[in-house]
Amino acid sequence: MIHDTRPCSAKKFRVIADEKAETYEICETPHDFHSLFTNIKEKYPMDEMELISLLLSLIDNNLMLCDNNKYLSLAIPVRR
């Protein structure tokens, strides 16, 4: 679950799961597309276009940034 307290957020709470959650977690540190795809396809059968679509969804929802083919999740993980 993502609790987004930023004024620009469309939703305050979002639930992401499966390959989207895994991708988001991997991108807690910047990853280029190739390393991300290599990492994610080990657990989830998807092609490059499916991953691009997933990433664009996260970017469109202001949850992730992409700069010079590096992807970074914006949420700060909460450690308990």
Q: In CATH, what number does 17-73 get? A: 1.10.10.10
pLDDT per residue over 21-54, tens digit each? Answer: 999 999 999 999 999 999 999 999 999 999 999 9
- Matching residue, tokens 């700069």: 67
CA 32: distance to chain centroid?
Answer: 12
Give me Rg for the CA atoms of the chain: 12
What sign results for the dihedral spanned by CA atoms 62, 34, 20, 45? positive
Are 12 and 5 within 8 A, CB to CB?
yes
Distinct helix (H) and strand (E) counts, the chain: 3, 5
Residue 12: per-residue pLDDT: 77
User: Average pLDDT of 10-23?
Assistant: 87
* Per-domain boundaries in the chain: 17-73
pLDDT per residue over 54-74, tens digit each? Answer: 999 999 988 999 999 999 999
